[in-house]
A and B are shown apart, each in its own frame.
Chain A
Amino acid sequence: MKKPDSNLELGRFAEPSLLILVSLSDGPKHGYAIMTDVEAGTGRPLGPGTLYAALARLEERGLIEALEPVERRRPYRLTALGASVLSEQLASIEAFAKLGLRRLGAQHR
């Protein structure tokens, strides 16, 4: 298995990519299911163009893999590398969020 690489160079697709990885963390989903799942989770729409640009990058970097299509819909699932990268990124976000909340709490005390 490849080592997680924090420098994935996802550019402006870093945020949608993270949302997709989170969406796939509880099991494989096809494109439309990912879109609706992200919208339900964040309250913000994920456009189909953005979705597939991010999917292509994630697949190219080995973070997700395509499964056999069911009719015309192809499900994707997280790879071991993808799970590892996601875990690393979420831990980093969690640490950052805690720092922000701590500072915010100190200011309003």
Chain B
Amino acid sequence: MIGLLVALYPAPWRRRYGEEFRAVLESRPLGPFDVADVLLGAVDARLALRLADRVAEHGGHLAMLRIGGFGAIIGAALWFIGLAGGSAADDGSDTVWLLVSMLGSVGLLLALTGLSGFQAHREPRLAWAAFGIPAIGTVVSLVGMAGMAFAPDEQIVGTWSGWGVWALGLLTTLIGSILFGIATIRAAVFSRRAAIALAGSAVAVIAVGTGSTGVADQAVQRILAAAGLAAFASSWMALGVSAVRRGPIRAVAPA
């Protein structure tokens, strides 16, 4: 009888209190009041365990959300500052700006991980597909930037120079960001405006970068590219802000 009553409690509870609880039950004859009380206690222990699991899971989601949000805000800002600084620099400080941009890329990787992980609870397949491509693109561009910073005149992957690898990584990141924007719009977890802006600005940068805009003037092309990249970084930052601002209740609402 006592063994059966103790077995009604969840395993983690039994591991902690089982032996002493059994000793208490064996200390005196059990009456109907005691049996009913133990049954209620077992129900309570199971409910408390479920609640603790949910709180832990909830905390994990929110931590991912915060990491992803701040990663997007800080990462996108550093990434763009590094790019802009590197483009404007003519005093040999390229390496410093590249390192700033690399730090930004690491932040964007954190953002992709945190925000995709969070969105994955709503749109698992799409979210993880939208995570994979930009994440790979960001890693490739990081390798390219490292090549540009530390081996600027060398071919770092096959016949590819650091700049070539970076450009390939950036293109992949932009394509992936379009997917990420679509995933965000469909999941409706973060700001839809920011998601539309992200996808739109990524399309615009690709169009400018591949010369698909029909603009011949190089100065205008540079302005368009800078504007597109600024809009792209701003969209990531806006997504980050919407992620950080999300309240805990809606953030864990079931799909």
Interfacial residues, chain A to chain B (CB-CB below 8 A): 30-32, 35, 45, 47-53, 55-56, 69, 71-74
Among the listed A31, A50, A51, A55, which residue makes an inter-chain contact with B23, where contact means beta carbons less than 8 Å apart?
A31
Which B residue sits closest to A30, measured CB to CB? B20
Which A residue sits closest to B27, measured CB to CB? A32
Among the listed A35, A45, A69, which residue makes an inter-chain contact with B24, where contact means beta carbons less than 8 Å apart?
A35
Question: Could you tell me the distance in whole angstroms from the C-beta of A57 to the nearest C-beta in chain B?
Answer: 8
Question: Could you tell me the distance in whole angstroms from the C-beta of B85 to the nearest C-beta in chain A?
Answer: 48
Known: A56-B13, A72-B19. A49 touches B24 (CB 8 A): no
Among the listed A30, A47, A73, which residue makes an inter-chain contact with B41, where contact means beta carbons less than 8 Å apart?
A47
Contact B23 A73 (CB under 8 A): yes
Interfacial residues, chain B to chain A (CB-CB below 8 A): 13, 16-17, 19-25, 27-28, 33-34, 36-42, 44-45, 48
Contact B13 A72 (CB under 8 A): no
CA distance A42 to B104 in the complex (A): 65
Which B residue sits closest to A35, measured CB to CB? B24
Q: 14 additional contacts, CB 8 Å, given A48-B21, A49-B38?
A: A47-B33, A47-B41, A48-B38, A49-B39, A50-B40, A52-B17, A52-B21, A53-B45, A55-B17, A56-B16, A69-B19, A72-B19, A72-B20, A73-B23
CA distance A10 to B21 in the complex (A): 20
CA distance A84 to B224 in the complex (A): 66
Q: Which of chain A's residues have a CB closer than 8 A to the CB of B38?
A: 47-49
Q: Which of chain A's residues have a CB closer than 8 A to the CB of B45?
A: 53, 56
Q: Which of chain A's residues have a CB closer than 8 A to the CB of B20?
A: 30-31, 69, 72-74
**Sampled A-B contacts (7; CB under 8 Å):** A47-B36, A47-B37, A50-B41, A56-B17, A72-B19, A72-B23, A74-B20
- Closest 8 pairs between A and B when the two form their complex, measured CB to CB: A49-B41, A47-B37, A49-B37, A72-B23, A49-B38, A31-B24, A32-B27, A74-B20
Q: Which of chain A's residues have a CB closer than 8 A to the CB of B17?
A: 52, 55-56
Contact A48 B34 (CB under 8 A): yes
Determine which residue in B27, B39, B42 has the highest number of CB atoms from chain A within 10 A of its CB, and name it.
B27
Q: Which of chain A's residues have a CB closer than 8 A to the CB of B39?
A: 49
